[in-house]
Chain A
Amino acid sequence: MVETLMTITNLKKHFLLKQNLFAKNKIVKAVDDVNLEIPRESIYAIVGESGSGKTTLGRTILRLIPPTAGSVKIEGKDVLTLDKKEFMPYRRKMQIVFQDPYNSLHPRKLVKTVIGEGLKIHFKGISEMEIRDKIREVLVQVGLREEHMFRYPHEFSGGQRQRIAFARAIVLEPEFIVLDEPTSALDVSVQAMVLKMLQEARAQNALTYLFITHNLSIVDYFANHLAVMYLGRVVEAGSKAEIFDHPAHPYTRLLMSSNPIPDPFLNREKQVARGEIPSPINPPSGCHFHPRCPLAKPECKETEPPYRELAPGHHIRCHYPM
């Protein structure tokens, strides 16, 4: 039995869009009723297009933005309701690496400051020597060299910066890291190196990743679980093998079909979506996907499908799964 690290229940994050004095304020349901179980030491991918709420989900879990409702339980404790002092150890245990390595590192701080800053906060009374040792250790682990700690971020390439951002996360010995599209700003040859480094570091440090991405090819290579999001809702979730072999939601199938495959000998029927991704401010009624769904029936327009278990561990939000 695989141990569960994190249980996310009915998590919601709604943003209020202020209108003028006379119009009613609008609500954007960026994350709407998300339920996930993240196994310990897994790589859990969150897949979706822009506006699907995948980044907001990652940030809400970490309490970088306050949630609207729901709970995120680690070891039976709901981290969303803890007060500031109780939450501190969880801040350390849950880290994040952002998408754009050019904006996520302070340009005027040396790499050693960027990486070491968190240590001073989370390990009270740590000596300068110990900090230095730890920085040295993580730099080597992410594939950089010791002397890199005396340089500034602008002296590094995109791939190296992403390694620094990752070093900053793992130096605090976390258990859980949100990787928010960590390679989408990188070229493929660099991406391959960074993904490999992330995999090795995961095994070495017994980490659990929440891997946010829009690229299904990377998911197949990198993750072992995935959740597909569409307009704030998780429409399908389960183990990677199960979903890749038996995608049950029409949107998951559409995503897979839209993903270009680098094989000119492959003859496959390409399914092309109808219409655009609707605005999250004003999503379609019932199932959000119904206007683009090839299989939509009247019921899909009227009632919202419940989130249910299709097969053990395979969840779906669809009236008529395939």
Chain B
Amino acid sequence: MDLRGNLLDIRELRVTFHTYRGVIKALNGVNLWMDKRERLGIVGETGCGKSVTAQSVMRLIEEPGKITHGEVWFETRNLLALSEDEMTKVRGREISMIFQEPKSSLNPVFKSGFQIKETLLNAKKATPATAEAEVEKILGYVGMDAARVKNMYPHELSGGMAQRVMIAMALATQPKLLIADEPTSALDVTIQAQILELLSDLTHKMGNAVMMITHDMGIVAEFCDRVVVMYAGNAIEIAATKELFRNPTHPYTQGLLRAVPRVGRPGELKAIPGTVPDLVDPPEGCRFHPRCDYATEGCKKELPPLLEIEPGHFVSCYLCQDGGCKPVKKGEEEPW
């Protein structure tokens, strides 16, 4: 099997949720991949499927959700084909995850030190004799006063401290991949900067790959090597971070970059007309076509394939089919 990334390769992933309103087609054939030690950003607005993608990798999709199609290759195994027992060995050991609300991700009735110890013992990274010392070492790595924090319950921790405990737990088992699902959206900016720096330092030292799920283009610019832009259940553009900001090609990516306010660049913000589609009844063809200035009849019929317009730069848009064309209106400078 020819994998596109040597760590992770998600192929044509489809996920649906059955609700009383109908079937929500949350992921509509997602393709993305990661190399070892890479920092991949997944950006998109509410409901674009970025969290569902991450949960599918961990196989955390529960009823009424269902993975209906696709493959998730992690190194040499298709995670979707593993038994539940085998998958349990992957979770927390080879792939770890941290979440947006660190305080609700910790068990409120156990001390934080105990919870880290439990993870270590489960993953057989420590023996009961060495675990205590190991916990203190790990808490030290995440910049905390280990002796004090290990005896604290989650409600005694601030948001930033709780996220540090979560990071300690997630990285204690030295996973190959860390999935961070909006790890700083619930935190204040000064604390966010601390947590991002910590994540950056630790994963650099330990050599884990990071999948950073975020809606903040600033975090993407400062943290990620490569970016996947998602819209309504599809990865619509994939490129190295600098390439994406220099040469955004999908009309949605362009719109998104124009809509983000930025210090030091006053002037008009341009909104994307219309709203995100209802995924119970998504538009046919390219799901962005009702909001797209450049949509043609062809866009309404079939989903455009993810094409490589330049080495490493993939776009799912019919306007780019002839190799590298760029949908910029005449007379319009590039405002991103």
A157-B275, A273-B190, A273-B194 known; A261-B160 Cβ under 8 A: no
Q: Check A196–B215 contact: CB distance below 8 A.
A: no
Roughly how many angstroms separate A218 CA and B19 CA in the complex, as a whole number? 37
Q: Which of B189, B258, B259 contacts A259 (CB 8 A)?
A: B189
Roughly how many angstroms separate A216 CA and B265 CA in the complex, as a whole number? 12
- The reply on B161 being an interface residue by CB < 8 A is yes
A262-B245, A270-B197 known; A221-B266 Cβ under 8 A: yes
- Majority-rule SS of B interface residues: helix
A60 CB to closest chain B CB, in angstroms?
22
A-B contact count (CB 8 A): 126
A188-B256, A193-B271, A258-B192 known; A265-B245 Cβ under 8 A: yes
Q: Check A49–B190 contact: CB distance below 8 A.
A: yes
Q: Which residue of A lies closest to B245 (CB)?
A: A264
Identify which of A49, A216, A221 gathers the most chain B CB atoms within 10 Å of its CB. Answer: A221
Q: Which of B241, B257, B261 contacts A222 (CB 8 A)?
A: B261
Roughly how many angstroms separate A262 CA and B270 CA in the complex, as a whole number? 16
In the complex, per-residue mask of B146-178: 1 if CB is within 8 Å of any chain A CB, else 0:
000000000000101100000000000000000
Q: Check A263–B270 contact: CB distance below 8 A.
A: no
Per the CB 8 Å criterion, the residue count for chain B at the interface is 43
Q: Which residue of B lies closest to A187 (CB)?
A: B45
Roughly how many angstroms separate A259 CA and B221 CA in the complex, as a whole number? 12
- The reply on A285 being an interface residue by CB < 8 A is no
Per the CB 8 Å criterion, the residue count for chain A at the interface is 40
Q: Check B263–A187 contact: CB distance below 8 A.
A: no
8 Å CB interface, B258-294 against A: 258-264, 266, 269-272, 275-276
In the complex, per-residue mask of A242-284: 1 if CB is within 8 Å of any chain B CB, else 0:
0010000000001111111111111000101100110000000
- Residues of chain B contacted by A188 (CB below 8 angstroms): 45, 215, 217, 256, 259-260
- Residues of chain B contacted by A221 (CB below 8 angstroms): 261-262, 266, 269
Q: Check B189–A214 contact: CB distance below 8 A.
A: yes
- Residues of chain A contacted by B264 (CB below 8 angstroms): 220, 261
In the complex, per-residue mask of B27-38: 1 if CB is within 8 Å of any chain A CB, else 0:
000000000000
Q: Check A218–B261 contact: CB distance below 8 A.
A: yes
A231 CB to closest chain B CB, in angstroms?
12
B interface with A by C-beta (< 8 Å)? 45-46, 158, 160-161, 188-194, 196-197, 215-222, 241-242, 245-246, 255-264, 266, 269-272, 275-276
In the complex, the 7 A-B pairs of residues with the closest C-beta atoms, listed nearest first:
A260-B218, A262-B217, A49-B188, A258-B193, A193-B271, A192-B271, A187-B45
Q: List 27 A-B contacts (CB under 8 A).
A: A187-B45, A187-B215, A187-B276, A188-B217, A188-B256, A189-B256, A192-B269, A192-B272, A216-B189, A217-B263, A220-B261, A220-B263, A255-B190, A258-B193, A259-B218, A260-B192, A260-B219, A261-B218, A262-B220, A262-B221, A262-B245, A262-B262, A265-B245, A270-B197, A270-B222, A272-B194, A272-B197
